């Protein structure tokens, strides 16, 4: 058989399946959407993603066609949800049929069925969520606050070093991003595995970050042609025409070994029993439980590390854009905390504006503007339109978080006050729950809401407190254009800033705290 025969056979079969589906769609009462072309549907109208930002395109179509926008991507039904009322009706009130995930060929090979975020809806997912919630709920998350406070202290101490740096602005910006990445990664690795890291070159972080990048790339629309034509999966790896498959199988083996090794190390460390892995181990043992626990733990890192870094970057960027917000946050910090000590989680109840800053940045600039799609498990009707079984329903978080009905005519503006002043035109709706339990929908919906939201909120809160307490953040205009990072996340523009100590004792207080933290880690054998 010629080498191209398997490819041609798979392509022909895929074409037949597509034609049958395409012809069957013509008689259905589907939601409105842009007109597509035969065979490919709307696939070519998505633009050069991510340069055109899919969420921006979907938002434009939402304003043209309404809250439900139907797309046909080479035979795959996709429905975009563009406002709060529609998304909450379908993904909350009807969540029993909207909580599945569409299958991705490449992600399946990488291990999607073992991941909390990608596995299909059913008893297995419910068991995973119960287990994860038991170690990440609001009460248990308080046990991790000391780790997050230590990392926030090291974060600010390292940022302080940039205030005296003579490096070019672009180099300083890269140093700043490296500091953010190391801090958030180390905090999460400490919480999950019990071993923090002082360097991004740490093999643990390097390996986990590679795995994270692998999953993120596989989830990026258009990364692999096999996602548009799944019949290509029939092509054997040995033909040389399915490199994506052999690469995925190779990486799956590596991911299995990595997660298992890290989980085993964490659970056998008798000095560290407050990490997530140890808590998982207490809930169940056995080869199957250990494998599931290892994957649950590993994927928590993948879900939390880069997303927290990006959210923190947006917070800092907002301080350079809106100095009045930074000043109000600092005034609150000075009044509640003073100069004689560092902020801590015990101050949270009184730091209302700082909490509002965190909520508002997550609303204003969601890290993942297009949430992972929900797969509809049976035909459903909404406002006279059929949403067909198997459709991928994509919440456009960017537009949902700026819903005018909920947040008012200034929904596109960054204004933390909307979460505080209940006499305001939109805050009563947030108070009454129209903005979801968090006041925004960045953490997702219903039975698929992010289980790590308590840990993420705590991390952003203490990092923001420490920065406001120690430093003034000012914009740095002399900056090169930078390089756009291509993935599914919403990165801030390339920006620079100046870090200026707020009072004379800032550096000495932070240095003393840094020494104490590193000495404690050395005594516990947890530093690296």
pLDDT in tens, the chain (528 residues): 444 555 555 555 555 555 555 555 545 799 999 999 988 888 888 865 555 688 999 999 999 999 999 999 888 999 999 999 999 999 999 999 999 999 999 999 999 999 999 999 999 999 999 999 999 999 999 999 999 999 999 999 999 988 766 566 666 788 899 999 999 999 999 999 998 887 888 999 999 999 999 999 998 877 888 888 888 889 888 777 889 999 999 999 999 999 999 999 999 876 667 899 999 998 876 556 899 999 999 999 999 999 999 999 999 999 999 999 999 999 999 999 999 999 999 999 999 999 999 999 999 999 999 999 999 999 999 999 999 999 999 999 999 999 998 998 999 999 999 999 756 666 666 766 677 789 999 999 999 999 999 999 999 999 999 999 999 999 987 665 555 566 689 999 888 899 999 999 999 999 999 999 998 887 776 655
Which residues contribute to the annotated binding site?
450
SS3 503: coil
Task: Measure the CA–CA gap between 186 and 209, rounded to whole angstroms.
Answer: 12
> How many angstroms separate the Cα of 96 from the Cα of each of 89, 91, 122, 481?
12, 8, 10, 46
Look at residues 309, 329, 385 and name the one whose alpha carbon lies nearest to residue 155: 309
Domain extent at residue 159: 5-524
Look at residues 307, 300, 309 and name the one whose alpha carbon lies nearest to residue 193: 300
104 DSSP 8-state letter: -
Count of the separate structural domains present in the chain: 1
> How many angstroms separate the Cα of 174 from the Cα of each of 125, 153, 155, 182, 453?
39, 20, 15, 12, 27
Q: Counting Cβ atoms within 10 Å, is residue 122 exposed (0-12), middle (13-18) or buried (19+)?
A: exposed
N- to C-terminal Cα separation, the chain:
55
Task: Measure the CA–CA gap between 92 and 401, rounded to whole angstroms.
Answer: 16
Token output for 386: 């059929």
Pair 440, 366: CB distance under 8 Å:
yes
| DSSP string for residues in 142-179 | GGGHHHHHHHHHHHHHHHHHHTT--S-HHHHHHHHHHH
- Host H or E run for residue 135: helix 123-136
Region class of 444: left (phi > 0), else alpha (psi between -120 and 50), else beta? left
Look at residues 455, 498, 514 and name the one whose alpha carbon lies nearest to residue 155: 514
Task: Measure the CA–CA gap between 194 and 188, rounded to whole angstroms.
Answer: 9
Burial 470-488 (b: 16+ CB within 10 A, else e): bbbbeebeebeeeeeeebb
79 DSSP 8-state letter: E
Token output for 36: 């597509």
Pair 492, 313: CB distance under 8 Å:
yes
Q: What is the pLDDT of residue 434?
A: 72
Q: How far is CA 344 from the centre of its chain?
A: 25
Q: What is the pLDDT of residue 240?
A: 76
Q: Assign residue 9 the CATH number of its domain.
A: 1.10.630.10
- Cβ partners under 8 Å of residue 71, min gap 6: 33, 34, 36, 41, 42, 77, 78, 79, 80
Q: What is the pLDDT of residue 201?
A: 87
Q: What is the pLDDT of residue 284?
A: 72
- Cβ partners under 8 Å of residue 154, min gap 6: 183, 186, 514, 517
Which residues contribute to the annotated binding site for heme?
450
Token output for 418: 């909307």
Task: Measure the CA–CA gap between 78 and 373, rounded to whole angstroms.
Answer: 9
- Peptide bond just before 50 cis, omega within 30 deg: yes
Pair 227, 104: CB distance under 8 Å:
yes
Task: Measure the CA–CA gap between 381 and 315, rounded to whole angstroms.
Answer: 40
pTM: 0.90
Q: What is the pLDDT of residue 279?
A: 93
Pair 155, 167: CB distance under 8 Å:
no
């Amino acid at each position: 058989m010629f080498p191209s025969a398997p490819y041609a056979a798979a392509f022909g079969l895929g074409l037949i399946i597509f034609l049958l589906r395409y012809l069957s769609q013509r008689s259905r009462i589907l939601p409105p959407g842009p007109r597509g072309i035969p065979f490919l549907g709307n696939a070519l109208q998505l633009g050069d993603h991510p340069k055109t930002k899919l969420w921006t395109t979907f938002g434009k179509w939402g304003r043209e066609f309404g809250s439900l926008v139907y797309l046909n991507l080479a035979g795959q039904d996709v429905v975009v949800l563009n406002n709060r009322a529609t998304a909450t009706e379908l993904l909350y009130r009807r969540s029993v049929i909207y909580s599945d995930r569409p299958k991705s060929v490449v992600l399946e090979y990488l291990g999607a069925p073992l991941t909390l975020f990608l596995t299909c809806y059913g008893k297995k997912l419910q068991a995973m969520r119960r287990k994860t919630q038991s170690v990440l709920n609001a009460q248990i998350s308080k046990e991790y606050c000391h780790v997050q406070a230590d990392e926030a202290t090291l974060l600010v101490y390292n940022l302080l070093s940039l205030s005296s740096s003579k490096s070019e602005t672009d180099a300083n910006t890269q140093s700043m991003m490296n500091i953010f990445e190391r801090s958030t990664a180390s905090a999460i690795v400490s919480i999950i595995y019990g071993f923090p890291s002082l360097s991004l070159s740490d093999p643990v972080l390097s390996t986990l970050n590679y795995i994270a990048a692998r999953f993120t790339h596989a989830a990026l629309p258009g990364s692999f042609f096999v996602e548009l034509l799944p019949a290509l999966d029939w092509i054997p790896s040995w033909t040389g025409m399915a490199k994506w498959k052999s690469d995925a199988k190779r990486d799956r083996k590596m991911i299995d070994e990595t997660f298992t090794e890290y989980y085993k190390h964490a659970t056998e460390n008798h000095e560290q029993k407050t990490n997530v892995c140890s808590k998982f181990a207490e809930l169940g043992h056995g080869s199957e439980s250990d494998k599931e626990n290892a994957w649950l733990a590993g994927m928590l890192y993948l879900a939390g590390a880069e997303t927290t870094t990006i959210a923190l970057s947006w917070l800092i960027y907002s301080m350079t854009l809106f100095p009045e917000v930074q000043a109000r946050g600092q005034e609150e910090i000075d009044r509640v905390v003073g100069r004689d000590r560092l902020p801590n989680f015990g101050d949270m109840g009184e730091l209302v504006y700082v909490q509002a800053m965190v909520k508002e940045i997550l609303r204003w600039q969601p890290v993942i503007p297009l949430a992972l799609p929900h797969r509809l498990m049976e035909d459903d009707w909404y406002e006279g339109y059929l949403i067909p079984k198997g459709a991928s329903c994509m919440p456009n978080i960017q537009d949902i978080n700026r819903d005018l009905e909920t947040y008012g005519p200034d929904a596109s503006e960054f204004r933390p006050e909307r979460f505080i002043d209940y006499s305001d035109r939109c805050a009563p709706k947030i108070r009454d729950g129209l903005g979801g339990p968090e006041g925004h929908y960045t953490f997702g919906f219903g039975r698929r809401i992010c289980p790590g939201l308590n840990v993420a909120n705590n991390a952003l809160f203490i990092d923001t407190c420490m920065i406001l307490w120690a430093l003034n953040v000012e914009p740095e205009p002399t900056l090169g254009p930078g390089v756009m990072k291509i993935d599914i996340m919403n990165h801030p523009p390339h920006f620079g800033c100046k870090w200026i100590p707020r009072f004379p004792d800032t550096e000495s207080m932070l240095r003393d705290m840094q020494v104490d933290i590193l000495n404690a880690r050395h005594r516990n054998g947890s530093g690296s």
